[in-house]
Amino acid sequence: MAEIVIIFDFDRTLIDGDSDNWVVTEMGLTEIFHQLRFTLPWNRLMDRMMMELHSQGRSIHDIEACLQNMPVDSHIIHAIKSAKSLGCDLKIVSDANQFFIDKILEQHGLLDCFSEIYTNPTSVDGNGNLQIFPYHGDALLPHSCNLCPSNLCKGLVMDHIRGSSPSDQIPRRFIYLGDGGGDFCPTLKLKECDCVMPRTNYPLWKRISDNSLLIKAEVKEWSNAEELERILTQLPAMIAVLKARERLFSPLFSSSIRRCISYSHEDERDSKVFIHPSAVVHPSAVIGKGVSVGPYCTVGSSVKLGNGCKLYPSSHIFGNTELGESCVLMTGAVVGDELPGYTLIGGNNIIGHHAVVGVKCQDLKYKHGDECFLCIGNNNEIREFCSIHRSSKSSDKTVIGDNNLIMGSCHIAHDCKIGDHNILANNTLLAGHVIVEDYTHTAGATVIHQFCHIGSFTFIGGGSVVSQDVPKYMMVTGERAELRGLNLEGLKRNGFTMSEMKSLRAAYRKIFMSTETVPLSLEERLTKMEQNQELYSVPAVGAMLQSIRDSFAEGRRGICKFRQWLDS
């Protein structure tokens, strides 16, 4: 059995581009792809693209010919063959699909270099349609990893590969090459004697840079095919380094620095908990595997810490508070409060230096003894000096979704609802009951009045005071924020097509920049717009109009003013 196992991601690692995007672009599917981009998970979206090709009369041979034209850098080809000749076991773990990978590797004479390929399976049905299935489909139970897409957890695949090595064989060392966010989960599975090779300035590289204390393996960066070839052709020297690291890290931490608690029947290194002697950890607290608690930390009696959590010095967790796996509390962070109710935080969240999360709200209507709640999803970064409060009453919750960046000194008050993929720049202040949908972006020093509703894909300029709703797709700014048009740059960055943006601009002008000789009310303009079948049939336009109408429903605050509309 090979002593070194090299695991490659495929897209943007083994090949410089993306095989899915190559097929979409080369076979003329760009427009329908962008129309459906945010309506389906990626795996199902690509299966839908194959159905579209079949409906256009394109055969499986056409797809194969397209894939055979995809280039693979000569340096990569040489690196793979060199590693194979050195006796390494080469594998692929990819969120592409079996057909695409096989055909590209066959074309360049590389398929036989790999002992196993773990990816989304494919088949050709009786009508000649290529079907793409999720790796975790009918044959495998769905996974529960919050770091990976639902169709494939690369961390579980990594566990399977490591577990397939017989215990009486020579220990295997793993080298993992990747670029994307989905490669972070298997990276966390690597040990001190392993190596991870992230591509510089790609998502995996950033995740490792931001969470360096979670990484046990040697980290060796690469930026292009030539550099990767040079590294892999020096494998004998790399193997020597990994062996040295294995000897160096065999006693993980001095017992004079850490108090160690081990779990039976588990990998010893993965299951130890490290607690500094000066930390105060209540004996009733539930501590997961691989948790690290630094000096002068406090962990309360009702706290639950998921596997792999790290508490930096002088960070504290109180009350009925639960942290998911791989959460990080930076120095001075305070999470939870000794109040009825709970603070629930998902996996892979970072709570910044001196941030205060999950404490009592600043609402005088809150009654002492009432339950109050805060729920935070996964993959959020909450930076230094932020404050996020629990709800003001037992019938409500403060909620934050997934993949949000909340920059330094932001405040999110009681009962706010924050969606996914939002960016709140420094000193953004949200009063109580504010709703922020998805993919919004606030610039610095933004203030949002209580009960306001901020629609998806909006942008709020720096220093703005928002006292009324901001409908979907729009941009506002000003000391009393006013509509200043559409957030075209944000729409472009998030995959909206030129056709969609053109339709949105036309609709916006008809509503807010009307050239009608007889002035019309906003209601009349909306009604007239809804009768314009050419524009109203565009889903994004319909969503924008509905967002405007919703802002005038009972209990809502109306929309931010627009100068020309007010003057008309």
pLDDT of residue 392: 94
Tell me the pLDDT of the chain (568 aa) as tens digits. Answer: 557 899 999 999 999 999 999 999 999 999 999 888 878 888 889 999 999 999 999 999 999 999 999 999 999 999 899 888 888 899 999 999 999 999 999 999 999 999 999 999 999 999 999 999 998 874 444 556 778 888 889 999 998 888 876 544 556 789 999 999 999 999 999 988 888 999 999 999 999 988 887 888 888 899 999 888 888 777 655 555 455 445 444 433 333 223 333 333 334 445 688 999 999 999 899 999 999 999 999 999 999 999 999 999 999 999 999 999 999 999 999 999 998 999 999 999 999 999 999 999 999 999 988 999 999 999 999 999 999 999 999 989 999 999 999 999 999 999 999 999 999 999 999 999 999 999 999 999 999 999 999 999 999 999 999 999 999 999 999 999 999 999 999 999 988 999 999 999 999 999 988 777 678 888 888 998 889 988 988 999 999 999 999 999 988 999 998 865 433 3
Long-range contacts at 198-202 (CB < 8 A, ≥ 24 apart): 198/222, 199/12, 199/13, 199/223, 202/12
- Using alpha carbons, select from 470, 450, 436, 464 the residue that is nearest to residue 562: 470
If you ran DSSP here, which 8-state letter would residue 366 be given? P
Full DSSP string of 5-62: EEEE-TBTTTBSS-HHHHHHHHTT-HHHHHHHTTTS-HHHHHHHHHHHHHHTT--HHH
Instruction: Provide the token pair at 233.
Output: 């052709």
For the question of residue 182 being annotated catalytic, the response is no
The rounded radius of gyration (Å) of the Cα atoms in the chain is 27
What phi-psi label fits residue 495: left (phi over 0), alpha (psi between -120 and 50 degrees) or beta? left
The residue written with tokens 């889903």 in the block is 539
Tokens 């943006």 belong to 501
Q: In what order do the strands lie in the sheet with 173-178?
A: 114-120, 89-97, 4-8, 173-178, 195-198, 218-219
Q: Which residue, chain included where needed, has tokens 């495929």?
A: 10
Say which of 89, 415, 438, 469 is annotated catalytic. Answer: 415
Packing angle of the helix pair 42-55, 60-68 (nearest 10 deg): 120
Q: Return the number of other C-beta atoms located less than 10 Å from residue 129's C-beta.
A: 17
Task: State both tokens at 251.
Answer: 């006693």
Retrieve residue 26's tokens.
């080369």
Record the tokens describing residue 215, joined without a space.
Answer: 């990484």
**Regarding beta strands 387-389 and 356-359, do their DSSP bridges make them parallel or antiparallel, or are they unpaired?**
parallel
Q: What is the largest CA-CA distance in the chain?
A: 87
pLDDT at position 261, please?
30
Element (H, E) at 501: helix 498-512
Are the C-beta atoms of residues 11 and 96 closer than 8 Å to each other? Answer: yes
**Per-residue pLDDT at 519:** 80
Whether residue 452 contacts residue 560, with contact meaning beta carbons closer than 8 Å, is answered with: no
> Do the beta carbons of residue 308 and residue 290 sit within 8 Å?
yes
Give the whole-angstrom CA distance, residue 500 versus residue 504.
Answer: 6
Secondary element (H or E) of residue 498: helix 498-512
From the centroid of its chain, how far is CA 449?
A: 29
Residue 351: its pLDDT value, please?
97
**Cα–Cα distance for residue pair 203/182, rounded to 1 Å:** 9
C-alpha angle 145/328/339, rounded to 5°? 95
Q: Concatenated DSSP letters for 467-482?
A: -SBB-TTEEEETTTTE
- Active site includes 9? no
Nearest in space to 301 (alpha carbons), one of 261, 270, 336: 336
DSSP code string of 152-205: --HHHHHHHHHHTS-TTSPPPEEEEEE-SGGGHHHHHT--TT-EEEEBTTSHHH
Catalytic residue among 432, 455, 461, 490: 432
Which pLDDT belongs to residue 566? 39
Of 132, 159, 155, which is closest to residue 144 (Cα–Cα)? 155
DSSP string, 201-221: TSHHHHHHHHTGGG--SEE--
pLDDT of res. 142: 54
Domains in the chain and their CATH numbers? 4-232 (3.40.50.1000), 274-436 (2.160.10.10)
The active-site residue out of 136, 414, 441, 453 is: 414
Only one residue has tokens 């159905």, namely: 51
Give how far Cα 465 sits from Cα of 77, 175, 415, 443, 460, Å: 56, 51, 20, 11, 9
432 is catalytic: yes
With CA atoms as reference, report the closest residue to 367 among 330, 394, 402, 405.
Answer: 394
The confidence score (pLDDT) of residue 270 equals: 53
- Asked if 374 and 351 touch (Cβ cutoff 8 Å), the reply is no
